[in-house]
Structure 1
């Protein structure tokens, strides 16, 4: 479990993380989201004792990270998969890290198997692709068989098969009762992986809830209705309290009325309907709505000019 209370980090006049409270619980995958500059990396570094908080505190499994006598057995972290000597083989790198905690070669070979590194275990890391480097970083995180895993952009560089593998692997780790805390900018992947999300914006928490709750509370769910009798159906639906907007000559978007009720109204009035499609907001759309005022870096042009 990860617990933060009044966690704050300042760099001179800039406040990167501003008095945040959150709990990352075992048995589920918790996603950590936010725009660039929101404070995600700083928060992860404070969890791992790499940055000292300016205020508040954060504990992992009941203690500050630095107070654990064998932290690798408590917390596995993947923050920078490239922080490896390029001349070492993957297995020798894992053996070197394992030696710091008296972890044997048997466990090294186990994590090599878990992360799919068998065919490259004795090759130099300098020749690894970004995806294979990510797998090696995950193997390091798993060495101590920790109760808590902190993974920063773990799917970066993975091919589609690797992304699916990591998704299933993260969920299997949570199913074992571990705490899994991961950040990603891939909203579609996070929607399929995370049970719960914490969203940061400009150093503050803007959402901390189950994914299902974030989606259910997202303003904008609607129903697409296609009919040749647009005007007639619009009047009927507005009488039911719906908000109807025309999208195309024969297509309307209906809010504040369930698809089942729209169908009942249309059938009762003898209105022909060619399409009736609920359009639920995605996690990406909900995320963008929640963070629209917290984006530190935004483009000013809608389309680039091309010199011919």
Structure 2
């Protein structure tokens, strides 16, 4: 388990992490979300002792990371997949890490097979794609068969097969009773992978809840409707306090009006209703609602070309 209490980190006048407290429990995948600059990477670095808190504390499995006699057997951390000497081969990199804990070549071979990089074991890392770097990094986290996994953007650069593999891999680790803490900017993937979500914004916790609870808070009354005359129905609904967006020539997404009322109005105007589908809120909806006021780097509105 990871436990943080009043964790704070400042860089000069900037407070990157502002007195946060949370627990990452075993037996579930905990997702860590937040805009760029929210303090996620700094928090992860403090967990594994790479940054020292200015206040507060964080422990892993009951002790600060630096106090574990064999930290690789307690925590496997992937914070920067490309932090590997480019001149080393994949196997020599893993053997070097394994030697720090007295782990033999057999374990190195096992984790390379596990992550699908056995075929490139003797290739120099400098020629790896980002996806292969990620697989090598995950192999390194598993060398000590740790109780806790901390993964920062582990699916970045992976192809669909790799993303699918990481999802199944981390869920299987959680099912074994391990603690899994991972960050990602891919909301759809996080919705499929995580059981629990912590959202950080401007160094503070905005949400700490099960995924199902966050989805419930994001649910808005939205309906997809396919009709015989979408343009006419759009005009009809525009006269009321309803948001109607054309998503196809014959299809609208309507927000703010129950499905039964949409049907009544359409049929009353002589418009045939061919499909009516209530839409659930998404994790992305919940995330954007939570972080709307906590975005540090905000893009300008898009301007269409003349």
TM-score if structure 1 supplies the norm length? 0.87
Aligned position for 2:254: 253
Aligned position for 2:289: 289
* Runs of at least 5 residues in structure 2 that lack an aligned partner in the other structure: none
Cα distance in 2, alignment partners of residues 26 and 262 from structure 1: 46
* Runs of at least 5 residues in structure 1 that lack an aligned partner in the other structure: none
Matches within 5 A, 1:157-306: 157-226=157-226, 244-247=242-245, 253=254, 255=256, 257=258, 273-303=273-303
Cα distance in 2, alignment partners of residues 221 and 174 from structure 1: 34
Check the 8 A contact 1:33/1:185 in 2, yes or no: yes
> How big is the shift at 1:181?
0.4
Aligned position for 1:145: 145
> How big is the shift at 1:83?
1.5
TM-score if structure 2 supplies the norm length? 0.88
Check the 8 A contact 1:225/1:254 in 2, yes or no: no
SS at match of 1:53: coil
> How big is the shift at 1:305?
6.2
Check the 8 A contact 1:148/1:179 in 2, yes or no: yes
Aligned position for 1:67: 67
Check the 8 A contact 1:244/1:252 in 2, yes or no: no
> How big is the shift at 1:300?
2.1
Matches within 5 A, 1:69-84: 69-84=69-84
> How big is the shift at 1:223?
2.2
Cα distance in 1, alignment partners of residues 132 and 176 from structure 2: 25
SS at match of 2:218: coil
Cα distance in 1, alignment partners of residues 178 and 129 from structure 2: 29
Distance 1:198 1:252, change over 3 A: closer
Cα distance in 1, alignment partners of residues 113 and 221 from structure 2: 44
Give the RMSD, CA atoms, in angstroms. Answer: 2.8
Distance 1:127 1:251, change over 3 A: closer
Distance 1:254 1:97, change over 3 A: closer
Check the 8 A contact 2:199/2:205 in 1, yes or no: yes
Aligned position for 2:110: 110
Matches within 5 A, 1:21-60: 21-60=21-60
Cα distance in 2, alignment partners of residues 31 and 251 from structure 1: 33
Check the 8 A contact 1:46/1:53 in 2, yes or no: yes
Deviation by residue 1:214-261 (Cα, 9 ceiling, x = unmatched): 011115242234567969x98xxx9xxxx755556995725475x5x6
Check the 8 A contact 2:199/2:206 in 1, yes or no: yes
